[in-house]
Amino acid sequence: MLQYIIKRLLLSIFTLWVISLIAFGISKLSAGDPVDIILNKGNEEGSLQDRIYLISYKATAQKFGLDKPTFYFSISPKAYPDTLYRIYPQNKRVTLRRWVAQYGNWPNVSTFIQNCEDLENNIQKVSRLHRSDSLIQLRNTYSLLKTRYKKDDTDVLVSKVVRQIKNDSLLKANFFDQGQKINTSYQSIIKNKDKKGLYLPSFNWYGFDNQYHNWLKSMWSGELGISYNEQRPVSKKLNEAIWITIQMNLMAISLAFIIAIPIGIHSARKRGKSFDKYTNLLLFFLYSIPTFWIATMALIFLTTAEYGMDFFPSMGLGNVSRNASGWEQFTTRIEHLILPVLCIAVGSVAFIARQVRGSMQEVLQQDYIRTARAKGLSEGRVIWRHAFRNALFPLITLVANIIPALITGSIVIERIFNIPGMGFVTIEAIFKRDWPVVYAVLMIGAILTVLGILLTDILYALADPRIKFKK
């Protein structure tokens, strides 16, 4: 048994490790430059030349560890330089990648980009003295040149740069050489197109100071990563939310069990009678009702004065002054939680009752129930002591569902009723593109699910001595 538990634990750790890879992988694939999200900046093209932007970009990237390599190692074509990850901002990195993917000769590409940047720096020095339309045009052209990579575009843009420098006397005097340099380096990229490097893999080892390792460390330490928007550990952000959610779901689940078990048992006893038929049908429909629909209906009809049925307070958890008595705080909280809890419970009631009915039906057909009845035991004793305890056994599987449901069961409901729980925070984070929060919640959900499954297996083993686990 102990061996079995240890084996299961090791397997769970493996599962969680793979999930962490998936979560991290998705977070790296997610749209938008994380640093830009932190800086609250869009992807406008002009932002590239902004020096202040670059400085703050670098500082932010360093602060959040986003300037580090993504993973322990990388396998990339030989054509790519192994220090590509050091180039910032992300836009530039992506453009460079595309240049290399297209032509395969990094040295030439890097000279070309260097020449473009030199021109940019020099022009910025001159621009204070000289303002002309051609200068502005030139600036637009080369800033475009840095973000474009398709051959049709770049051909036109390079020739445009050269022409624009030629056409203006002052520009010609100062930058003629540089214009030529850009042109020659561009031509040499195209001439020395070398795609061999793209098909030779190269393996780069980056060591342990990488983004994934740091993310995993912060998961392990309970910090759960750092929120992009609030720039503090995600755990602090989730700290309050998680208790509200657990509280709410615990209430809902207990309520669901209290309602569902008697219904299930009774309808199992009346198998085939009209009570069973109708409750079964009702439960079936109840099971199919989308929770968010009930919640929306409740919100509209029962919390607003619009239809004269303003029975419940509407949104959130209500405001209680700090010096209010404990009782007052409690009642306000309960008042605000009634509707959400009921809405969560509705779906679960149907599910649990159907399960109870199924397993009760099976147990009631067993011989030992007949024996118990034949012994002359009272009906209550037969049902509760003999039948129900055995019927509980298949319900152990429900434990695996309940534990993660404590956190994830109320995502939509929280959103509808504006309750600042986990689901509310998660969905806010999705809208604000605050991905670390989303992946932290995903990881928490996964950990709880794995725990739930583990617990189920162990409970099964404890509850039924016949189950023998192989090593």
Partner 1 sequence: MFWKSKKLKKRIETDKGMSYGKIVFKRFRRDSLTRWSLRLFYLLVFVGLFSDFIANEKPIYCKVDGKTHYPIVEDYLVNLGLLDPMNTLGRPNWRTLEHQGLVLPIIPYSAHKPDQKNMGFSSPFGKQNIESSRYRHWLGTDRIGRDLAAGLVAGTRIALAVGIIAMGIASLIGIVLGLLAGYFGDNQVRISLLRVVLILIGLCIGLFWGFISRSYALKEGALGIQILISLGILLLCVLGFFGLSRLMENMIPGMKKVYLPFDLIIMRMVEIVDAMPAILLILAATSIIRNPSIYNVMIIIGLVSWTTIARFVRAEVIKVREQDYIQAAKALAYSDFRIITRHILPNSIGPVLIVIAFGMAGAILAEATISFLGIGLDDEDITWGYLLNQARGQASAWWLAIFPGIAIFITVTLFNLLGEGLTKALNPKLDT
Half-sphere exposure of 393 (CA within 13 A, CB side): 16
Phi then psi dihedrals of residue 318, to 5 deg: 80, 155
Q: Which residue has the tokens 């022409």?
A: 163
- C-beta separation of 415 from 430 below 8 A: no
Task: Note whether 22 binds partner 1 by CB under 8 A.
Answer: yes
Span from 16-24, 113-121, 162-170, 246-254 in contact with partner 1 (CB under 8 A): 16-24
- Whole-angstrom CA distances from 307 to 110, 162, 310, 311, 416 are 69, 72, 8, 11, 19
Is 69 in a helix, a strand, or coil?
coil
With CA atoms as reference, report the closest residue to 356 among 433, 230, 256, 216: 256
Task: Note whether 352 binds partner 1 by CB under 8 A.
Answer: no
Q: Which of residues 221-260 bind partner 1 (CB under 8 A)?
A: none
Closest CB to partner 1 among residues 104, 179: 104
**432/438 Cα distance (integer angstroms):** 11
**373/392 Cα distance (integer angstroms):** 20
| Contact track, partner 1, 355-394, x by CB under 8 A | ----------------------------------------
Span from 9-17, 180-188, 320-328, 370-378 in contact with partner 1 (CB under 8 A): 9-17
Q: How far is the CB of 393 from partner 1 (least distance, A)?
A: 20
**61/84 Cα distance (integer angstroms):** 15
Task: Note whether 98 binds partner 1 by CB under 8 A.
Answer: yes
The one among 72, 292, 460, 469 contacting partner 1 by CB under 8 A:
292
The one among 71, 301, 393, 460 contacting partner 1 by CB under 8 A:
301
The one among 5, 84, 101, 458 contacting partner 1 by CB under 8 A:
101
Q: Which of residues 181-210 bind partner 1 (CB under 8 A)?
A: 198-199, 201
Task: Note whether 312 binds partner 1 by CB under 8 A.
Answer: no
With CA atoms as reference, report the closest residue to 411 among 259, 295, 287: 295
**457/463 Cα distance (integer angstroms):** 10
The one among 5, 16, 216, 459 contacting partner 1 by CB under 8 A:
16
**112/278 Cα distance (integer angstroms):** 77
Task: Note whether 289 binds partner 1 by CB under 8 A.
Answer: yes
Cβ atoms within 10 Å, residue 252: 26
Span from 15-23, 127-135, 365-373, 387-395 in contact with partner 1 (CB under 8 A): 15-23
- C-beta separation of 345 from 252 below 8 A: yes
Task: Note whether 23 binds partner 1 by CB under 8 A.
Answer: yes
**23/212 Cα distance (integer angstroms):** 10
Q: How far is the CB of 249 from partner 1 (least distance, A)?
A: 13
| Contact track, partner 1, 112-151, x by CB under 8 A | --------------------------------------x-
- Show the tokens assigned to 237: 């952000």
- C-beta separation of 182 from 159 below 8 A: no
**409/452 Cα distance (integer angstroms):** 14
Task: Note whether 278 binds partner 1 by CB under 8 A.
Answer: no
Preceding omega of 89 cis (within 30 degrees of 0): yes
Closest CB to partner 1 among residues 179, 264: 264
Q: Which of residues 43-82 bind partner 1 (CB under 8 A)?
A: 75-77
- C-beta separation of 167 from 37 below 8 A: no
The one among 3, 30, 62, 121 contacting partner 1 by CB under 8 A:
30
Span from 41-49, 303-311, 379-387, 463-471 in contact with partner 1 (CB under 8 A): 303-311
The one among 290, 335, 368, 462 contacting partner 1 by CB under 8 A:
290
Total interface residues for partner 1 by CB under 8 A? 61
The one among 430, 462, 463, 467 contacting partner 1 by CB under 8 A:
430
**336/330 Cα distance (integer angstroms):** 10
Task: Note whether 297 binds partner 1 by CB under 8 A.
Answer: yes
**222/201 Cα distance (integer angstroms):** 37
Q: How far is the CB of 179 from partner 1 (least distance, A)?
A: 28
The one among 274, 288, 319, 321 contacting partner 1 by CB under 8 A:
288
Cβ within 8 Å of residue 397, ≥6 positions away:
456
- C-beta separation of 268 from 362 below 8 A: no
Q: How far is the CB of 391 from partner 1 (least distance, A)?
A: 19
Task: Note whether 445 binds partner 1 by CB under 8 A.
Answer: yes
**Chain residues that interact with partner 1, rule: CB under 8 A:** 14-16, 18-19, 22-23, 26-27, 29-31, 75-77, 97-98, 101-102, 150, 198-199, 201, 284-285, 287-290, 292-293, 296-297, 299-301, 304, 306-307, 404, 407-408, 411-412, 415-416, 426-427, 430-431, 433, 435, 438-439, 441-442, 445-446, 449-450, 453
